[in-house]
Amino acid sequence: MKPQLLKLNNDSANSFSVRRDVVPSVNNRWHYHSEIELIYFKNGNGTQFVGDSIKRFQSGDVVLIGPFLPHYWRFDDAYFKDETKAVADVQVVHFNENFWGKDFINLPENKLIKSIIDSSKRGVSVKVNKTQDLGTVFDALVSEDRYNKIILLIEALMLVGQSQYEQLSSIVFNHNFEDSDKDRINAIYDYSLRNFKNQIKLEEIAEIANISPNSFCRYFKSRTRKTYTQFINEIRIGNACKLLIEDNINVKQICYECGYNNFASFHKFFKSITKKSPLNYQKEFLAKNKQT
């Protein structure tokens, strides 16, 4: 599969870029770039793809993406509806690994920053309570003049390094892509995200990918290290996690809302992917939310 190589605009007055996005479709494609990306979802929910990792993102999340690691942020459908109340607010920093010089990152005082940048090659998602502090730093990065920005970026990276975090993409993910696959991944992802609540037939998704049904399964697994069935289950369970967190409908309703025909299958796949039952996942999240 071929993600799109993006060349980011850098002006001569700044050594790295900082921007704020309020349009949910800005990162709505499978892409990569030579710069490291540090992204803060101040407000926004959806599905994120980092290498071969699929999971939900939500308001407050901070993710660090290494150079040339493909990624894709897909906001929920609510953000694209007319007269929606859902508003995206995303703050993004892009910087080259050695923009501050090769010697700087190797200073003993920067061991933590060097470690987290090395970890970013597989993608890093901050798991616990540094996100509030990081949000304050991001707000300053967006608003401050350029003379303070390098200090603020160092502070943000230090906070990420001090946090509990998880690496996203697997160590076996293949970064090599063929030109002939340029648009297939976007077509597969877009169609799957729009139709995961239904039973997607092999012939149906193979037609979207413009290859034969006999070739599709082999093609998809060779590029993603997972079967298409596993891919769809990860999307469905990610959506189930969102609905459990919102706590507006019961678990059995969530099962059918996410495309499963029976509760036993839903429960099996949910526990396989999250290592928790749906009810335990919901109880743990709600308990943590009350504490914060």
- If pLDDT is split at 50, 70 and 90, which confidence band does 12 have? low
Structure tokens that stand for 19 in this block: 């921007």
pTM of the model: 0.76
pLDDT tens per residue, range 69-79: 888 898 988 88
- Whether 177 shows a pLDDT value over 90: the answer reads no
- Whether 5 shows a pLDDT value over 80: the answer reads no
Instruction: Show Cβ contacts of residue 77 under 8 Å, excluding neighbours closer than 6 positions.
Output: none
Nearest to 91 by CA among 120, 115, 60, 121: 60
Mean pLDDT of 142-166: 87
Q: Distances in Å between the alpha carbon of 208 and those of 70, 215, 218? A: 21, 13, 15
CA–CA gap between residue 187 and residue 180 (Å, rounded)? 14
More confident residue, 273 or 144: 273
CA–CA gap between residue 97 and residue 235 (Å, rounded)? 32
Burial class (CB in 10 A: 0-12, 13-18, 19+), 290: exposed
Mean pLDDT of 278-287: 86
pLDDT tens per residue, range 221-231: 887 888 999 99
Provide, rounded to the nearest whole percent, the portion of the chain with pLDDT above 70.
Answer: 88
